[in-house]
Amino acid sequence: MGAPREETGKLAGCTVFITGASRGIGKAIALKAAKDGANIVIAAKTTQAHPKLPGTIYTAAEEIEAAGGKALPCAVDVRDEQQINNAVEKAVEQFGGIDILVNNASAISLTNTLETPMKRVDLMMNVNTRGTYLTSKACIPYLKKSKIAHILNLSPPLNLNPLWFKQHCAYTIAKYGMSMCVLGMAEEFKGEIAVNALWPKTAIHTAAMDMLGGSGIESQCRKVDIIADAAYSIFKKPKSFTGNFIIDENILREEGVKNFDVYAIKPGHPLLPDFFLDEHPDTIIKKVESRGAVPELKEEKPQPPPKPRSGAVEETFRIVKDSLTDDVVQATQAIYQFELSGEDGGTWFLDLKSKGGNVGYGEPSHQADVVMSMSTDDFVKMFSGKLKPTMAFMSGKLKIKGNMALAIKLEKLMNQMNARL
């Protein structure tokens, strides 16, 4: 990669306590600090490999040691006060103190009020807000004794635009709780501990993102490295640098980084903006849609005279019906129901469970696994590849009830169909 930096070893011998460090962003920050020879406390829940999520606290520890750091894996559920206190005690016993705390552990459910079970609400509030508060509280006595003394919360700027509350109120409250800890603690411990928040400008490719956006989303994401580099540049700053809500790209620009393509999974591909950042959200969404709308070179099919607009949904379903095969049905095994608003709207279904598959107007004969609500316009755009389902979902144009994994399967299917549409 680039030439070695002069300040190599800046974090040598420092102890960094990171929650949720067994994978994703937490692990990336750990590895970046480990390269300097830091001590890393991996405070995370996964002790046994999970079928869908790679990594445990032990595999992360091996990677950290291989990168040049010292690792202390601690099985910790941030909701459990005793487990947090034990991990902090172990860290201090083994490494002599704590210099940096990274509150990264988070639970997410992008569901609206009536669709979020209280169990999920409690999980988000307890992991995100309370877990951050509790871990900070446990580490502060030791951070106060450190020369470095940083708390970094992976949480967004406090943006009170209702758009960010409308679709996933509970998640937003839980994440903003983390940001409020920054607001309060930065002021409370001014001069003693730097307390800041860091949030990505774009979607970051992690296992969590794959689960939310489905595979295929990664081309619209940046690598975790951008967050790790941004976190590192925050840790180098003095204690007086506090109370800031930092966006990864902005701080790296200030550091002199000019080429952000190195962070892209697919350089040149449009990036998905992250939540909670207003760059006039509607224009962002239009930008992404219009970029997706560039027609790829397809063979010119003789075009029938344009039908009146109202038949577009029917026409879309006709094309979908023509492209159904037993293989598609075998591979999908799901029934989709579409609640379309606007001209030519109503209830439509796509049955990819019964032999040979079926589509039509009205309710499916068996209960749908996934119900998707959107306007007829967006529906047509989605099936013709002009509107990415992920983007439609994130911006609230598409509402999904039911099995998210099956909804993601449909996105894959659409990509195959777009070749035909």
- pLDDT at residue 421, as a whole number: 53
Q: CA 358, CA 78: separation in Å to the nearest integer?
A: 47
List, for residues 63-89, the tens digit of each pLDDT value.
Answer: 999 999 999 999 999 999 999 999 999
**Together in a domain, 50 and 118:** yes
Question: Cβ of 144: how many Cβ atoms within 10 Å?
Answer: 12
Sequence-separated (6 or more) residues with CB below 8 Å from residue 287: 270
**Together in a domain, 242 and 334:** no
What CATH code is carried by the domain that includes residue 189? 3.40.50.720
Q: CA 4, CA 261: separation in Å to the nearest integer?
A: 20
Neighbouring C-alpha atoms within 13 Å toward the C-beta of 123: 10
What CATH code is carried by the domain that includes residue 410? 3.30.1050.10
**Together in a domain, 255 and 124:** yes
In a domain, 372, yes or no: yes
Separation in Å, CA 36 to CA 13, 31, 67, 151, 282: 8, 9, 9, 19, 42
Give the neighbor-by-neighbor strand order of the sheet with 245-247: 70-75, 39-44, 15-19, 100-103, 150-153, 194-199, 245-247
List, for residues 332-384, the tens digit of each pLDDT value.
Answer: 899 999 999 988 789 999 999 998 899 999 999 899 999 999 998 888 888 87
**Together in a domain, 147 and 247:** yes
Q: Lowest-confidence range among 19-23, 239-243, 283-287, 400-404?
A: 283-287
**Together in a domain, 352 and 246:** no
In a domain, 385, yes or no: yes
Question: Cβ of 104: how many Cβ atoms within 10 Å?
Answer: 28
**Together in a domain, 245 and 319:** no
pLDDT band at 418 (very low <50, low <70, confident <90, very high): low
Rounded to 5°, the CA angle 131-136-139 comes to: 125
Q: Locate 268 and state its tokens.
A: 């040149």
Assess contact for 47 and 23: CB atoms under 8 A.
no
Which of 145, 253, 124, 148 lies closest to 196 in space, CA to CA? Answer: 148
Residue 61 has pLDDT above 50, yes or no: yes
Separation in Å, CA 336 to CA 156, 245, 325, 340, 345: 34, 41, 16, 13, 16
pTM over 0.75, yes/no: no
Residue 235 has pLDDT above 50, yes or no: yes
Element (H, E) at 349: strand 346-352
In a domain, 287, yes or no: no
Instruction: Please tell me which residue in 58, 133, 142, 171 is annotated as part of the active site.
Output: 171
Q: CA 419, CA 215: separation in Å to the nearest integer?
A: 18
Domain that holds residue 395: 312-419
Domain count, the chain: 2
**Residue type present at position 316:** T
List, for residues 93-150, the tens digit of each pLDDT value.
Answer: 999 999 999 999 999 999 999 999 999 999 999 999 999 999 999 999 999 999 999 9
Q: Lowest-confidence range among 40-44, 267-271, 308-312?
A: 308-312
The residue among 198, 229, 263 that closes a domain is 263
Is 142 noted as a catalytic residue in this protein? Answer: no
**Together in a domain, 259 and 320:** no
